Chain A
Amino acid sequence: MAQNTKTRSNQNNERIALIQKQRKRTQVQNTMLAASGILGFILIWQIAAVSGLVNSRYIAKPLEIVNLFIVKLTDPNPDGAVLGVNVMSSLAVSLSGFGLAVLIGVPLGLFMGWYRGFDSFMRPIFEIIRPIPPVSWIPLTIVWLGIGLKAKAIIVFFAAFVPCLINSYTGIKQTSEVLINVAKTCGASNFTIFRKVGIPSAMTLTFAGIKVAIGNAWATLVAAEMLAASSGLGYMILMGRQFGRVDLVILGIVVIGAIGLVISKLIDMLENKVLGWKKL
């Protein structure tokens, strides 16, 4: 009997090892596919640039971009700031605008979705603000706040605020009636049900909203910097255009893409932490 159990647990361990090995293999395959996708893209880019298929005035070779990246780390020319300063300036704007949007938009959406009276009070204001394109605030904010961080952060805020609010609003509205009843029969007050049932139920959609918001934040940031800035990645791209420096434009685009990727990965990690129960 004891021997039997032992072989059973041995078999069990072998099975677990096998499944883990298969999973690992899929992971390696996925990573390799992702890497070859990027390499393939760069290769096509290189071929297009070298072969003359695209006029070299409108495109730079990948290696030139790498080169310029290294140069730009220390050289403030031609736009007046080294890459690091531009990146930091853009990050400061986008993260403060985005952060503010999450801090205000998410709780506001949750409260509006839960408390009907508050919803009736807030909804008209929100519905008026919602369809206004964030970029159309630019002239006003320049007049009010100049071309500093605050002005651009506010534009980014408007762009990121809407998806944060809408998604957490919709998310908490979809809270299961049965779960609310469960909490009621446990003697919970409405505010307790809001905290213990409503908010956790809303988290899936809220995170989807936050991801849309970070995308909006970056998109609007670059637009804002092109119109009202003296540094930043958007400003760098604009200068690249004015000086006819395609490589500078492309470098700006690549860096924006890379930072966007890093930020969305960070949000994914946070999401995994909050919504980890889904993956198990």
Chain B
Amino acid sequence: MPMDKKKVKLRLENISQSYVVNNEVRDAVSNVSIDVYDNEFLVILGPGHCGKSVLLNIIGGLEKPVEGNKYIDGVKFTGSDKRIGMVFQRLALMPWKTVMGNVEFGPRLAGVDKATRRKIAQKYIDLVGLKGFEKAYPHQLSGGMKQRVGIARAYANSPEILLMDEPFGQLDAQTRIVMEEEIQRIWQQEKRTIIFVTNNIEEAVYLGDRIILLSKCPARVKQIYEINLPRPRNTMDPEFLRIRREVSENTDLAL
């Protein structure tokens, strides 16, 4: 299916962000325009500290851009929006809440009654493979399990767009591979528009329908790759390796 026939879910238009550091203006994001299609798995790839997280925070409404507009389904919006959920880079669970308490947090704030929100939370706890751990506290879980809770929590808010900010960046290599397979399975079972930020090229090629490659600071769109390999992808496949090399050669080195 050609991309131009797909429905645009989220549109970013000329987004720029700057900060003042030591009396100097530093541009973090410069004039970024991106169309994200409905239910696509979009990976934003870029070197460390290039403004990827800033871009994601802007989409999620945690930061206000200096310039630019955001649209969902063609309608402009500002700030945070209930249709956008977020999975965070650092393990962001509330240590005083159980797995269930963490996952049902969003629906609870939204005033969903207990029986309904329990049902929603249970559905996503099951989906991420944590059945039986509902009553465990975060410090009793491994890193991978905690990030599963983070994913379930984001899903429980029933967002249309899911932002993931290097969600596996702090996991060990093996767990990371397992979680990459898992996020793919979860997404295929419960399709959402995912915007996944990473600095790991292999992860990007493994997960993305498309990869948007950002330049080093300030972040600009450098190149867009479409990955048409069937899923689940084989990281040893010659075509996979070819794309990986191509992306790799085009990636700016981080400082």
Q: Are A and B associated in one complex? A: yes
Residues of A within 8 A of B (CB): 176, 178-179, 181-188, 192, 196-197, 200, 203, 275, 277-278, 280
Contact across chains for B137 and A176 when beta carbons are under 8 A apart: no
A183 contacts across to B, CB distance below 8 A: 105, 109
Given contacts A181-B62, A277-B137, A280-B137, contact A186 B109 (CB under 8 A): yes
Closest residue of chain B to A196 (Cβ to Cβ) is: B109
How far, in Å, is B161 (CB) from chain A's closest CB?
11
On chain B, which size bracket covers the interface? 20 to 34
Closest residue of chain A to B60 (Cβ to Cβ) is: A185
B217 within 8 A of A: no
Residues of B within 8 A of A (CB): 60-62, 80, 82, 84-86, 88, 90, 92, 94-98, 105-106, 109-110, 137, 139-140, 153, 157
Contact across chains for B92 and A181 when beta carbons are under 8 A apart: yes
How far, in Å, is A5 (CB) from chain B's closest CB?
16
In-complex Cβ contact of B95 among A182, A185, A277 (8 A): A277
Give 17 A-B contacts (CB < 8 Å), ordered by A residue: A181-B62, A181-B86, A181-B92, A182-B86, A182-B94, A182-B105, A182-B153, A184-B62, A185-B60, A185-B157, A186-B109, A192-B109, A196-B105, A277-B97, A277-B98, A277-B137, A278-B139
Contact across chains for A178 and B109 when beta carbons are under 8 A apart: no
Given contacts A181-B62, A280-B140, contact A187 B92 (CB under 8 A): no
Bound: A205/B96 CA distance, A: 14
Given contacts A185-B60, A188-B109, A192-B109, contact A200 B88 (CB under 8 A): no
Contact across chains for A200 and B94 when beta carbons are under 8 A apart: yes
Contact across chains for A185 and B94 when beta carbons are under 8 A apart: no
In-complex Cβ contact of B85 among A185, A197, A200, A275 (8 A): A185
Contact across chains for B90 and A178 when beta carbons are under 8 A apart: yes
Is chain A's interface secondary structure helix, strand, loop, or mixed overall? helix
Bound: A109/B66 CA distance, A: 35
In-complex Cβ contact of B62 among A176, A185, A197, A200 (8 A): A185
Given contacts A181-B62, A277-B137, contact A186 B106 (CB under 8 A): yes
How far, in Å, is A189 (CB) from chain B's closest CB?
9
Given contacts A277-B95, A277-B96, contact A185 B90 (CB under 8 A): no
B139 contacts across to A, CB distance below 8 A: 278
Bound: A245/B154 CA distance, A: 70
Contact across chains for A187 and B140 when beta carbons are under 8 A apart: no
A186 contacts across to B, CB distance below 8 A: 105-106, 109-110, 157
A-B CB contacts (within 8 Å), total count: 57
How far, in Å, is B60 (CB) from chain A's closest CB?
6
Closest residue of chain A to B92 (Cβ to Cβ) is: A178
Given contacts A185-B60, A185-B85, contact A179 B80 (CB under 8 A): no
How far, in Å, is B181 (CB) from chain A's closest CB?
25
How far, in Å, is A249 (CB) from chain B's closest CB?
45
How far, in Å, is B48 (CB) from chain A's closest CB?
18
Q: A185-B84, A187-B106, A280-B137 are in contact. List 16 more A-B contacts (CB 8 A).
A: A178-B90, A178-B92, A179-B92, A181-B62, A181-B86, A181-B92, A182-B88, A184-B61, A185-B85, A186-B105, A186-B110, A196-B105, A197-B94, A200-B96, A277-B96, A277-B98
How far, in Å, is B31 (CB) from chain A's closest CB?
25
Contact across chains for A178 and B94 when beta carbons are under 8 A apart: no
Bound: A182/B163 CA distance, A: 12
Contact across chains for B88 and A178 when beta carbons are under 8 A apart: yes
A275 contacts across to B, CB distance below 8 A: 96
How far, in Å, is B120 (CB) from chain A's closest CB?
13
How far, in Å, is A206 (CB) from chain B's closest CB?
13
How far, in Å, is A202 (CB) from chain B's closest CB?
11
Bound: A184/B105 CA distance, A: 12
A179 contacts across to B, CB distance below 8 A: 92, 94
B60 contacts across to A, CB distance below 8 A: 185
Closest residue of chain A to B91 (Cβ to Cβ) is: A178
Contact across chains for A187 and B80 when beta carbons are under 8 A apart: yes
Bound: A203/B84 CA distance, A: 31
Contact across chains for B109 and A176 when beta carbons are under 8 A apart: no
Closest residue of chain B to A178 (Cβ to Cβ) is: B92
How far, in Å, is B198 (CB) from chain A's closest CB?
18
Contact across chains for B109 and A187 when beta carbons are under 8 A apart: yes
How far, in Å, is B62 (CB) from chain A's closest CB?
5
How far, in Å, is B83 (CB) from chain A's closest CB?
10
Closest residue of chain A to B95 (Cβ to Cβ) is: A277
How far, in Å, is A256 (CB) from chain B's closest CB?
35
A176 contacts across to B, CB distance below 8 A: 92
A278 contacts across to B, CB distance below 8 A: 95, 139
